[in-house]
Amino acid sequence: MNKYREAAERILKNHQYTLLTQKSGNEVWENANCEIWHCGNDKSSSYAFDIAIMPMGIAVTGDIGEYTFDVYGRGMDFLAGKDVGYYIHSKLSRHCKEEEFIYEKFEDTVKDYVLTEFENNDDLNYEFAVDLLEDCREKDFNHLKKYIEIVYFDTEKELDNETEKFVDNLYNFFETVTTVSYNQEAHELLCNCSFMEFTDSFECYFIDVSGSLMRSLYMINYAAQQIMKIKNEMS
């Protein structure tokens, strides 16, 4: 079970689900049902929200945010589906698709490029490059940063001028990397790097679905599953 599912079950464990209104299809919308459900806890208004099923789409409004889903003729079973991260998210209206900068993705990309540079740059000290790669290849960016930091401040290090200059540049570059906080800034830093090339880094993707959106989607999904149980008992 992922963390969003666990959070949804914990937050909504005391919620009740109340059918506010329901209307069956007519001669125009013969297969379309309209229904509105309130999801909330009688003892608290926290995380209370309503789910409205309509012929031309689905809307969710309340304490968890405002979301619309571009689905024609779909019912509560759509929201109760298993594929939250891809399918249900893919049907969100465009203006609801919140994204955020994932700093860890940026770190991983920087680390991969730097290690590749140590592998392929023949101008760098071979023994130093081998030692660094052996120590840092399976570790995260912070380990690589610390490794470079130790070498940078080591007054007794014996490196040729080219390698020492590269380490100095890398130390300062890593210090800037830790200040990056949004996607465009990350790409600009890589594009403008003067001491090594981040070839094709513009193709790297440092953003993903925001955590707050995923939390809301899983709460909607969990609520819809509880409502489907009630509907099945009513039928």
Q: What is the pLDDT of residue 30?
A: 53
User: Nearest to residue 145, comparing CAs of 167, 163, 128, 160?
Assistant: 167
Looking at residue 234, its pLDDT comes to 83
Confidence of residue 29 (pLDDT cuts 50, 70, 90): low
Sign for the pseudo-dihedral over CA of 180, 181, 185, 191: positive
How confident is the model over 52-108, as pLDDT tens digits? 999 889 999 999 999 999 998 899 999 999 999 999 999 999 999 999 999 999 999
**To the nearest whole number, what is the mean pLDDT of the chain?**
92
Give the rounded percent of residues in the chain with a pLDDT score beyond 90: 80
This prediction's pTM: 0.72
Q: Does residue 24 surpass a pLDDT of 90?
A: no
| Domain extent listing, the chain | 3-98+210-234, 101-208
